A and B are shown apart, each in its own frame.
Chain A
Amino acid sequence: MTVHDRSLSRRAILKGGAGLALGLYIAHTGKAFAQTPPAPASVNIAPNTFLVIKPDNTVTVLCKHIEFGQGPFTGMATLVAEELDADWAQMRAEHAPSNPVLYKNLVFGVQGTGGSSAIANSYEQMRKVGAAARAMLVSAAAAEWNVPAAEITVEQGVIRHSSGKEGRFGAFAEKAMQQPVPADPKLKDPSGFRLIGKEGVVKRLDSAIKSNGSAEFTLDIKDPDTLTALVARSPRFGGTVASFDASAALAVPGVVDVKRVPTGVAVYAKGFWPAKTGRDALKITWDDSKAESRGTAQLLTEFRTLSKTPGKTVKQEGDVDAAIAKGGRLIEAEYVFPYLAHAPMEPLNAFMKWEGATASARFGSQFPTPDHAAIAKVLGIGIDKVHLQTILAGGSFGRRAQQTVHVALELAEVVKAAGPGKPVKLVWTREDDTRGGYYRPFGIHRMRGVVRDGKIEAWSDTIVGQSIMKGSPFEAMTFKDGLDSTAYEGAHDIPYEVANFRCDLHQVDVGVPVLWWRSVGHSHTGYAVEAFVDELLQAAGQDPVEGRLAMMGKSPRHAGVLKAVAELADWKGAKPESGRARGVAVVESFDTYVAQIADVSMGEEGPIVHKVWCAVDCGIAVNPDIIRAQMEGGIGFGLGHILYAEQTLDEGRPVAGNFDAYRSLRINEMPQIEVAIVRSTEKPTGVGEPGVPPIGPAVANAMAKLGLKRPAQLPIVQGAST
């Protein structure tokens, strides 16, 4: 059975009665209670469960987090299986439907995946689900065998009594449901873990279906009579439709309708190709009077001017100006960061069936709660009349969660314009996706530092950038003193002790929609801080590793990963050898600490990264192999962007549309990677994002050792993306 086995669908289990759902809901408080699954009468079934045990002994965990590669199917199942004492082979996972009460992220308070929080917020919750289910199964077996529960053991999916009686979970699932749910099930001491943190025991639950083409993504949804809809959107952000002529589009065979929608003009067709051909045939006059019409060159000039004046203070210690006035070596640097598209392998898309009074949507919804509300609002029906099911998505890197919920809104508008009774698959082309905004913000860091007597005496970082959170529901959560903390995270809390420190921010408005992009603010602050500290240490005549460690007295976990990576790479200083040099960087993001050393030489086009050593401290390592995979992928993702990627604007119009212009890392550019996971007893933190930030500065710092300047304008290979 695979995670997409239809026989495992929630509704089939409830309806058929063949499967025995062990319904459990463990509240955040730890108070647990069983709930009878609701009757499947309404469209919006809210299964109050994290766990289904079937007569065939399979245990299916309903995963409240979206699986788009970072591993929550396997992670949630590991946590449950550990406390349940299940055999790994019996574990399955599928996505939980949208339900903000049952499936909320305990960090966000709503259902959603982000901020590398899946394991962190579920670690205790999912273990309690497993522990409670185990206790209930044991109680059921004790009653059946008429023996004390305390005499029963559970091991690898087998329930046993010393009398020789034994059985598997499936046989007791129904009776277990009648047992009281333990209010505060006892969790294992970590010393007793068999799965958590163990090597080679847990394999990903989704590898097979992703290797044979059977994994179902939104683009693959087959529903009879589904129309494919493509929307023509303004080439400039903020542009609107002035007028359009659909006659040529409607003449394309296969095109069935053309409608104006808030985001542009929607073409509906039987399949992608007629929809695309029809959209190409539309004649649209755009009203750009309110659109952003500045190009990136102009933005750079404006940002650069601003960066030469102090912004609003984020953090200040000592007196930077006085320290500079005192003399020593003043070092300045400017780092320019481009707009970056997320470009997940599967472009944006979404599917929905609207029957007038009810609707059913399926797509890779990363934040189901706000998406759900948005759909209901547009359709003018209650949230309880809308069923939203998250499914596998082909990557995200942040793109499938939007503070504006624009994909869910457009889906609902396109479906509404088509009229009830017509299933619609809204598809964005690669070009729509790359030119569609929601970029990592464009920005500048202007750095100043003073080195005196071999010591860093002053550090100043003036940031110019656009707020991701402004005007969004997340503003209250992320703003401090009127400033978006995600614009400076990592820049104001550097791990180095510097007596005179300042970080300030110019928060500017640009009419380009921006979004969190894998590692959010750390995607630029990590580079600025780590390239600059390396430059200052070089000026101070210090070793990049030893020099950092000497300033990390108050940052033991930073120091821990730095020491670990130096050991892993057998660090012997940064001196180049036969045209190759090593650069180091260490960045904490989302409470996970990552240090990397990159071995680099210069090729004709730019740096060639031969090998990367990586040490990570993410607290208790739940799934070591997934942690390694996320470090490998994070390094590759970070490296591809730092080397090659940028989105530029020409009079407001995004230029790069596809991978020919928005260059992605390819296999021949992928370094060898060695990962060390630092042993820790701290609570687990995430790994989806933290592998990304250090690689850029590690490469830049290696380039400096080869006698080049640390790149001031990214990407490093200029012109690679045009």
Chain B
Amino acid sequence: MTAFTLKINGQNHQLDVDPSTPLLWAIRDNAGLTGTKYGCGVAQCGACTVYLGGQTIRSCSLPVSAVGRKEITTIEGLKSREGVAVQKAWVALDVPQCGYCQSGQVMSAAALLSLNPKPTDRDIDLAMNGNICRCATYVRIRAAIHDAAKSLEG
């Protein structure tokens, strides 16, 4: 076991875990933030998407030992303009069905809008195809991203 300090959503969390522990489980089991989900464990589904130093990563496949001092943002700490706009659009269009993948979808969508304020359908498909939704809410995800983009104009 090794002691680590993770800065998550602006707060330091001390943990004593095996260095191979994926960041996902440190966030969930050690820091107690359960909005970030386990879906596959092999970076296939995107349910575990968080930001590390502002970049989206699949937290299930990054060992805690590789995190360093970079800041981690989870769905609980998503306060950016884009993040808020995306969440509003998600509610307005009733995007979620079971909802289990949606933390990851929202994180990826907000990241897309911060890089590309006016994405086309193709941009959305490219940016979002790492996030599986087994309920297949994809039609509404696309529409909600467009709506969020519009709400951020001007």
Binding site for B on A (CB under 8 A): 68-71, 203-204, 206-217, 219-220, 222, 228, 253-254, 270-274, 277, 343-347, 392-397, 429-430, 625-626, 629, 632-637, 639-640, 658-660, 664-668, 670, 672-673
Contacts and interface: CB of A to CB of B under 8 A. Distances in A.
B128 interface: yes
B134 A397 contact: yes
A273 B16 CA distance: 13
Given A629-B97, A629-B137, A665-B138, 16 more contacts: A211-B102, A211-B106, A213-B103, A219-B34, A219-B38, A253-B1, A272-B28, A344-B98, A345-B39, A345-B135, A346-B39, A394-B99, A629-B94, A659-B45, A664-B134, A667-B125
B17 interface: yes
A478 B99 CA distance: 32
B94 A667 contact: no
Given A273-B29, A429-B41, A668-B126, A629 B91 contact: no
B99 A206 contact: yes
Interface string B31-59: 01011111111101101000000000000
Interface in B1-48: 1, 17-18, 20-22, 25, 28-30, 32, 34-42, 44-45, 47
5 contacts: A210-B99, A211-B90, A274-B18, A345-B98, A345-B100
B132 A664 contact: yes
A213 B35 contact: yes
A271 B29 contact: yes
Contact of B101 (A70, A206, A274, A345): A345
B72 interface: no
B94 A204 contact: yes
Given A632-B137, A668-B125, A346 B94 contact: no
B42 A660 contact: yes
Nearest to A274: B18
A217 B17 CA distance: 24
B96 A69 contact: yes
A270 to B, nearest CB: 8
B21 A636 contact: no
Contacts of A274: 18
A635 B97 CA distance: 14
Contacts of B138: 636, 665-667, 670
Contact of B136 (A212, A213, A636): A636
Contacts of A220: 28, 34
B139 interface: yes
B91 A207 contact: yes
Nearest to A252: B18
B22 to A, nearest CB: 7
Contacts of A395: 97-98, 100, 134-135
A253 B18 CA distance: 8
Contacts of A346: 37, 39, 98, 100
Nearest to A217: B100
A665 B40 CA distance: 15
A640 B25 contact: no
A658 B100 contact: no
B90 to A, nearest CB: 4
Given A203-B94, A253-B1, A343 B134 contact: yes
Given A345-B134, A636-B136, A637-B136, A213 B40 contact: no
B135 to A, nearest CB: 5
Contacts of B22: 273
Given A346-B100, A395-B134, A430 B35 contact: no
Contacts of A347: 38-39
A673 B138 CA distance: 10
B120 interface: no
B99 A69 contact: yes
Contacts of B42: 430, 658-660
Contacts of A658: 40-42, 44
The 10 residue pairs across chains A and B that have the minimum distance between CB atoms: A213-B35, A636-B136, A394-B100, A210-B99, A69-B97, A69-B98, A213-B75, A210-B96, A220-B34, A670-B138
Given A345-B39, A633-B135, A207 B128 contact: no
B118 interface: no
Contacts of B20: 273, 277
B96 A211 contact: yes
Nearest to A202: B94
Contacts of A69: 96-99, 135
A660 B44 contact: yes
